[in-house]
Amino acid sequence: MTSSAKESNTHRGRYSEPVQNHGQKNIILFRYYQASVIFFLIDPHEYLNAFQVPTSNLMYDDADFPEFEFFDDQAMPRSNAPSRDALSVVKVDMCQSINKPNHYTVAYDIKNLVVRRGKQFIIRITFNRPIVKEDDFQVEFVIGSNPSPSKGTLLVVTSGIRKGSSWSGTILEEQGESVILGITPTANAIVGKFRTYVAVIAGNIIQRTKRNDETDLQNFSSPAEDAVFLEDEAERKEYILNENGIIFQGDVNAVSETDWMYGQFEMGILDACISILDRCRIPISTRGNVVQLVRMASAVVNSQDDYGVLVGNWGGDFSMGKPPTSWTGSAQILLQYVNTGVPVCYAQCWVFAGVFNTLLRCLGIPARVITNFNSAHDSTGNLKIDLIFRMDNSQDRRHTMDSIWNYHCWNEVFINRHDLPSHCSGWQVVDATPQETSDGFYRCGPSSVNAIKDGLLCHPFDCGFVFAEVNSDIVCHRRDRYGTLSAFWVNKTYVGMLICTKAVGKNERLDITHNYKYLQGNTILLKNEKNQQCVNNISFLHLCPSLQVQMCQDVILAVDFQNQGDLPKTVQAHLSESVIFYTGVTASHVKDYDFTVTVPANQSEKHLKEKVICSFTNKLCYDKDFCVCVCVCVCVCVSGQLQVQKEMFVTASFTNPYSFPLQDVVVAIEGSGLISYKTRFYSVIEPQASYSWTESFIPRLEGQRRIVAVMVCSNLGRLGQSSLPAQRYKKITQETLKIY
């Protein structure tokens, strides 16, 4: 056997492993059968950079835009020294005092100018001398790396001598050496942070101003021509400019509310939102497309598959982070994520929705938080909720894949969908809570609310999943020993009984259920296995509604059966007692209880039982929840002069009303435009002990402002159970201020 043959036998595939290149990084040697082939390649890093799509707004190379540049189509002889009369730029003024009020961006706590695309802004350029007709200069706006006019990442606004890019510009006024230039970005311009240069063209040389981050331009949505424009001014103020929100929680019969500080204008939040867009690797050139932007952003708000902002936790162990109920708003979460690069622990649906709402409003996209009570989670995609029961009427949780949440929060964004029929424009559902994957990522939407209402589930994106959340039927099945399922009860009205959001300009609840669904029929009782009608003329007159009860308080469950027939009826009922999370998932099962009730003809019969959560099935099914809430009142008192830039004080005071000590207590205070997120820790608060905590702050913004105080206690989680985490850990108190 020859040496070459021996050598070839050492390779099992068609192509061999690369041979060591002896330090030459641009040569890779492969052996192909008996022959040796040499491929000469460029530096791999250089090769990748040549074809890489820019996805970073905040990270770039200053060398992409040099101070001096020659025209490519002309020779480059040695130039003479500039003449004394050569035009040069002395100063660039972004005229923030004029532009910010006109663009409603005064509230942004940032040194750069923030404008809204499609609306004119002005800049003042001061030269070394008055300009003449022959002078040629241009303003250049650059975003990302490798800027290109064809991709909209390099925008050139000329002085009028020649044609520029899609952004229009005109000289409004000349004042000696200064020129006031009006510039109008296009309505579909890229959303993000632009670097600004002023270039003077002389002969075959372009001379630019040096890089100056003070002239950076933040460009965001919402003028009249924009795809996200809301015609109603009150709605624009509420869904873009309002920093204070209310998120509804609880149960459809006992709706509660929690204050949420969106804080989209707080220091560092704007750059944090841009950094998040960079992290989810949205190509710079596509950030003018709002549909793609919100869809990809909904994936990065959760950390399920892309190391995003928040870690979801629907269990009871929050020892590795903060309980979802401890957050007062979005600002602290976003800043912590950007500063550490590590997903923040922990969140549940309302936290995901609150943080996503901040990101959307910060970018100028109208957004609001929606709460859907009795929200269905269809994990099989069949647009219905299948609940499985055993033959003894107890619930078979092992084989039940679907679930019904007490409530679920998501977001709506207002977009004119040019990719869909015209009636599908308007409010769109987007959901950052990781429930199911969509195109390989845990995200949802944007889904047209109008399409969901009309059952047009073919339109992108994820309309079927949202339709099931608000409008699916509950189908109860019995499963025999062989695994055969037989449906015995259908409820068409339980899911999506109430869909609501905060009202415009008021701290009230707005019912928007009619936006998602038409009125429909009632419960259907199916024929059983023996083809007999199920419990004819028997119905529940009253099952003790969802209540909020205090800790250690007994709960009496009263069940009223009504017999509408002319003969007495005997009903066999099954009661199941469990501790559940608000997602409908069982935390622990307590016990089952069977009982029989005889209901006289045309009368009602009441059955009393001390139970917490019950499910009755005898050809009938019913669920009811009780919320165990803590009662620790946190009082907030504000003192000082109600004026911008004047020192004020806020005091939070509280008393432990229980007979046991409170462990690891954290009190948090926050108010958008007033005071940043502050916390105070108490290791133990003894029974009946009182504490107070005072913080000073200086109001930054005028107008109606709110301060929220939250108290979190570690040991209440074990005592208060897990049925509604939104109320088991905290008590919120707010104080409303009018700052002048």
CA dist., res. 649 & res. 640, Å (int): 6
Clarify whether 635 is annotated catalytic: no
Quote the Cα angle for 429-434-439, to 5°. 75
* CA–CA gap between residue 292 and residue 290 (Å, rounded): 6
- Residue type present at position 229: F
Q: Which of 67, 414, 63, 48 lies closest to 227, judged by CA?
A: 414
Exposed, middle or buried by CB within 10 Å (0-12, 13-18, 19+), for 461?
Answer: buried
> Which residue type, as a one-letter code, is found at position 720?
G
Query: Are residues 584 and 469 in contact, defined by beta-carbon separation less than 8 angstroms?
Result: no
Q: Which residue has the tokens 């949420």?
A: 260
Q: Are 731 and 667 in contact (CB under 8 A)?
A: no
431 is annotated as an active-site residue: yes
Place of tokens 């609150």: 354
Q: Are strands 485-491 and 524-525 parallel, antiparallel or unpaired?
A: antiparallel
Distance CA 723, CA 578 (A): 9
59, with CB counted inside 10 A (0-12, 13-18, 19+), is exposed
User: Alpha-carbon Rg of the chain, whole angstroms?
Assistant: 32
Give the residue from 561, 546, 538, 560 showing the smallest Cα distance to 489: 538
CB of 309 closer than 8 Å to CB of 343: yes
Which is it for strands 547-550 and 586-599: parallel, antiparallel or unpaired? unpaired
CA distances from 404 to 401, 409, 575, 588, 685 (A): 10, 13, 18, 17, 37
Yes or no: say if 726 and 255 are a contact pair by the CB < 8 Å rule: no
Rounded CA-CA distance 196/481 in Å is: 73
Distances (CA, A) of 92 to 210, 212, 723: 11, 10, 59
CA–CA dist 249, 235 (Å, integer)? 23
H helices then E strands: how many in the chain?
Answer: 13, 45
Burial class (CB in 10 A: 0-12, 13-18, 19+), 28: middle
* Residue in 103, 377, 408, 459 annotated catalytic: 408
For residues 674 and 662, what is the distance between their CA atoms, to the nearest angstrom? Answer: 29
**CA–CA gap between residue 206 and residue 200 (Å, rounded):** 6
Q: How far is CA 706 from CA 108, 333, 630, 637, in A?
A: 17, 19, 23, 12
Residue 353, helix vs strand vs coil: helix
Q: What single-letter DSSP state applies at residue 240?
A: I
Residue 121 near residue 102 (C-beta atoms within 8 A): yes
**DSSP SS3 for 203:** coil
Instruction: Indicate which residue of 273, 280, 349, 614 is catalytic.
Output: 349
| The token pair that represents 349 in the structure block | 């649906």
Buried b (16+ CB within 10 A) or exposed e, 578-598: bbbbbbbebeeeeeeeeeebe
The answer to whether 223 touches 117, Cβ cutoff 8 Å, is: yes
Q: Which position among 226, 251, 306, 431 bears the catalytic label?
A: 431
Is there a cis peptide before residue 460, judged by omega within 30 degrees of 0?
A: no
State the burial class of residue 523 (Cβ atoms within 10 Å of its Cβ: 0-12, 13-18, 19+): middle
Q: How far apart are CA 360 and CA 144, in angstroms?
A: 21
Across 83-221, where does the E strand assignment appear? 89-93, 113-116, 121-127, 136-142, 154-158, 168-175, 178-184, 192-202, 205-208, 217-220
Q: Please give the positions annotated as active site.
A: 349, 408, 431
